[in-house]
């Protein structure tokens, strides 16, 4: 039996499991693992500037492609605690990432040794499994179990903590005979699927709510096929956005209190039946169950048993992987179609489609004011970037308005941390997406505060040649919190603007505070500042040229008006529209308008 250090066994197992890209920061307690990676040479590594950044890079890497598992690595103590936010974000959105931490030698545990902390106990609430491996011979099996758990059932993150002496110990291990453990995913039974179609047959105005589980299961094509087969319109959740193209005739809009379309909320309120697949009934989508559920029946299909009935009790629930459920739904529906048992939903589908270009349900984007309104920025982005762009964003008014006004046409082209929403996530996540896909057109979207949280990670993009465009909409405010503070009649501690002594008093950005262009250029990247809508398309063209020439991230900062209140509310039937609505069809996507002709 071959003999090797336990750290080498860990590296060989990771490679055999398909994890060949890591993100992290070396340190004394994890150096044996880094030594094994250097010696073996089969696993790539990107050096982060902050260990939390490494965890978000791993998230972006996983979210970008089906089957990916991002790996983040740090030393003992604060490296592990820094990665807790990434683990929480991954756990909340069912994203598998592997976090590996170094640890003090076993004899020094519980002796308050330097940078020795019980990271497994700290991480346990935000992981599927967190363990400190105390026996060297268990290292390969711990990693085997980690990949099995990350991929089985509801996906999620795992943390493995490796004491220094465990990594250094010699063990016997044969990677040539190693095989990954079989992945477990529950699947719906035929009689359950028949019950679903029987219940759908009683509905006059049914909808499909498509969640992030469809994206995770790589089942978007099956979703579209089932929707087209049955003629049932689809409401994607924020995490499921892109599962059906925005310009598809059966894409009925998004629903919610913030990241929603007026036509989506109106369609939900007009429905009488909802089939949820791979979704959580998240509160930003539903509002209160009393309003959301009134007058309609629900079926809920999800891979995680504890999700069924967690928010409200559905009329029927099935525990199943989204791909398995959709595949069987298609098979049975085709049998029904052949037997003439499928109802004609054309009238209801056309009613839902009509709302998408009805001015009563459209928010205005065609503003000409300077400084720019965010609505006009997103209108310009949609026109400039086209259908194949991949957006990366996190939280704030920038993300909320982006979800209201941008358009997504492919799965995994809206990369967003939905439940946790940590500021600073966007830059490292975009770098992780780029590391996973060298060719995709990637555009990150941040407000100025999200951007400032972890902008040092731009240096990673410069060093490792990871180009993408980062649009920073700068209103020099904590915009979402400022808007929330309206309920307390205050505007307190949310202003980011100040008179930067290095910014000329007559400059349009005077009073906005941080000079992002200088900071970005100091980190080895390129940057452009935009003040007017007609400047945005040329700025994007310049960004494309710089990325091709220098292979670094390019930041486009757009100076916004200081205060813009974005539509949101307390219930899906009580959303406040702060801006005027569209007066004509110029704000309707051209492809949607053409479907109605």
Task: Give 201-262 as a 3 state SS string.
Answer: HCCCCEEEEECHHHHHCCCHHHHHHHHHHHCCCEEECCCCCCCCCCCCCCECCCCCCCCCCH
Query: Are the beta carbons of 276 and 299 closer than 8 angstroms?
Result: yes
Is residue 441 helix, strand or coil?
coil
Q: What is the C-alpha separation between 168 and 32, in angstroms, rounded?
A: 6
Q: What pLDDT does residue 597 have?
A: 44
Biggest CA-to-CA distance, the chain = 76
Q: Please say whether the beta carbons of 234 and 227 come within 8 A.
A: yes
The closest alpha carbon to 473, from 524, 512, 417, belongs to 512
Read off the pTM.
0.94
pLDDT score at 156: 97
CATH code for the part of the protein at 190-359: 3.40.50.1220
Report the relative pairing of strands 297-302 and 316-319 from DSSP bridges.
Answer: parallel
CA angle 151, 155, 140 (to 5 degrees): 40
What is the 3-state composition of the chain as percent helix, strand, coil, each rounded to the nearest 5?
45, 15, 40
Q: Which CATH number fits domain 364-566: 3.40.50.2300, 3.40.50.970, 3.90.1150.10, 3.40.50.40?
A: 3.40.50.970
- Report the distance separating Cα 311 and Cα 298, nearest Å: 12
Sheet holding 442-447, edge to edge: 414-416, 390-393, 442-447, 469-474, 554-559, 526-530
Question: At residue 415, what are phi and psi to the nearest 5 degrees?
Answer: -100, 110
The CA–CA distances, whole Å, from 201 to 195, 205, 252, 495 equal: 10, 10, 20, 54
Q: What's the residue count for the chain?
A: 597
Quote the pLDDT of residue 585: 66
**Distance (Å, whole) CA 351 – CA 346:** 9
Cα–Cα distance, 104 to 113 (Å, whole number) = 7
Per-residue pLDDT of the chain (597 residues; tens, 9 = 90+): 789 999 999 999 999 999 999 999 999 999 999 999 999 988 999 999 999 999 999 999 999 999 999 999 999 999 999 999 999 999 999 999 999 999 999 988 887 787 789 999 999 999 999 999 999 999 999 999 999 999 999 999 999 999 999 999 999 999 999 999 999 999 999 999 999 999 999 999 999 999 999 999 999 999 999 999 999 999 999 999 999 999 999 999 999 999 999 999 999 999 999 999 999 999 999 999 999 999 999 999 999 999 999 999 999 999 999 999 999 999 999 999 999 999 999 999 999 999 988 888 889 888 888 998 999 999 999 999 999 999 999 888 889 999 999 999 999 999 999 888 789 999 999 999 999 999 999 999 999 999 999 999 999 999 999 999 999 999 888 767 778 878 888 888 888 788 888 888 888 778 888 899 999 999 999 999 999 999 999 999 999 999 999 999 999 999 998 888 888 899 999 998 887 777 666 676 655 544 444
Q: Give ranges for CATH 3.40.50.1220 in the chain.
A: 190-359
Give which of 430, 439, 435 is closest to 457, Cα–Cα: 430
What is the pLDDT at residue 421?
Answer: 79
Tokens of 271: 């429905």
* pLDDT in the model for residue 479: 64
Give dist(CA 279, CA 311) in Å, integer: 11
- Name the CATH superfamily housing domain 3-177: Thiamin diphosphate (ThDP)-binding fold, Pyr/PP domains (3.40.50.970)
Q: What distance in Å separates the CA atoms of residue 445 and residue 377, rounded to the nearest whole number?
A: 11
In the chain, list all ranges with CATH 3.40.50.970. Answer: 3-177, 364-566
For the annotated catalytic residues, the residue numbers are 25, 51, 423, 478, 481
Pairing state between β 97-103 and 158-163: parallel
CB atoms inside a 10 Å sphere around CB 542: 14
Residue 506 CB coordination number (10 Å): 6
Rounded Cα distance, 71 and 523, in Å: 25
């Amino acid at each position: 039996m071959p003999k090797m250090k336990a750290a080498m066994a860990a590296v060989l197992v990771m490679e055999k499991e398909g994890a060949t890209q890591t993100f992290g920061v070396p340190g004394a307690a994890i150096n044996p693992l880094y030594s094994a990676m250097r010696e073996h040479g089969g696993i790539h590594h990107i050096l982060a500037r902050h260990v939390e950044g490494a965890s978000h890079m791993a998230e972006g890497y996983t979210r970008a492609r089906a089957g990916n598992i991002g790996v983040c690595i740090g030393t003992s103590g604060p490296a592990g605690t820094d990665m807790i936010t990434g683990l929480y974000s991954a756990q909340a959105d069912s994203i598998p990432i592997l976090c590996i931490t170094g640890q003090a030698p076993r004899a020094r545990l519980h002796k308050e040794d330097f940078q020795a902390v019980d990271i497994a106990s700290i991480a346990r609430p935000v992981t599927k499994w967190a363990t400190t491996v105390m026996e060297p011979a268990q290292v390969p099996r711990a990693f085997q179990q980690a990949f099995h758990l990350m991929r089985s059932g509801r996906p999620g993150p795992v943390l493995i903590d490796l004491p220094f002496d465990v990594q250094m110990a010699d063990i016997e291990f044969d990677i040539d005979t190693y095989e990954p453990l079989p992945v477990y995913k529950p699947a719906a039974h035929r009689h359950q699927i028949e019950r679903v179609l029987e219940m759908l047959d009683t509905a006059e105005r049914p909808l499909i709510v498509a969640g992030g589980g469809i994206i995770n299961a790589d089942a978007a094509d099956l979703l579209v096929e089932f929707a087209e087969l049955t003629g049932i319109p689809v409401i994607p959740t924020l995490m499921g956005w892109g599962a059906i193209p925005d310009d598809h005739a059966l894409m009925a809009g998004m629903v919610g209190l913030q990241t929603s379309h007026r036509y989506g909320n109106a369609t939900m309120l007009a429905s009488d039946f909802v089939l949820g697949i791979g979704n959580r009934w998240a509160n930003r989508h539903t509002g209160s169950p009393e309003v959301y559920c009134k007058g309609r029946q629900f079926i809920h299909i999800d891979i995680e048993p504890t999700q069924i009935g967690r928010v409200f009790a559905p009329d029927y629930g099935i525990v199943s992987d989204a791909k398995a459920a959709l595949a069987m739904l298609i098979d049975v529906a085709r049998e029904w179609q052949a037997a003439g048992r499928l109802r004609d939903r054309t009238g209801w589908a056309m009613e839902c489609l009509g709302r998408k270009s009805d001015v009563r349900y459209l928010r205005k984007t065609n503003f000409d004011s300077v400084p720019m309104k965010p609505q006009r920025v997103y209108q310009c982005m949609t026109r400039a970037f086209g259908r194949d762009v991949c957006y990366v964003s996190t939280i704030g008014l920038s993300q909320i308005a982006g979800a209201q006004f941008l358009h997504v046409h492919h799965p995994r082209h809206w990369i967003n941390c939905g439940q946790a929403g940590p500021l600073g996530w966007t830059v490292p996540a975009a770098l992780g997406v780029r590391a996973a896909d060298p060719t995709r057109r990637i555009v990150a979207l941040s407000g100025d505060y999200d951007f400032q949280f972890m902008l040092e990670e731009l240096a990673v993009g410069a060093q490792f040649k990871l180009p993408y465009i980062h649009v920073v909409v700068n209103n020099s405010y904590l915009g979402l919190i400022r808007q929330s503070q309206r309920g307390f009649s205050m505007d307190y501690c949310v202003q980011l603007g100040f008179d930067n002594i290095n910014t000329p008093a007559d400059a349009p950005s005077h009073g906005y505070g941080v000079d992002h262009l200088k900071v970005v250029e100091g980190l080895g990247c390129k940057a452009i500042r935009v003040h007017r809508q007609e400047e945005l398309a040329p700025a994007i063209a310049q960004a494309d040229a710089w990325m091709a020439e220098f292979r670094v991230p390019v930041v486009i900062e757009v100076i916004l008006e200081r205060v813009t209140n974005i539509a949101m509310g307390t219930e899906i039937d009580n959303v406040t529209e702060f801006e005027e609505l569209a007066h004509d069809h110029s704000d309707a996507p051209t492809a949607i308008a053409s479907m109605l002709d």
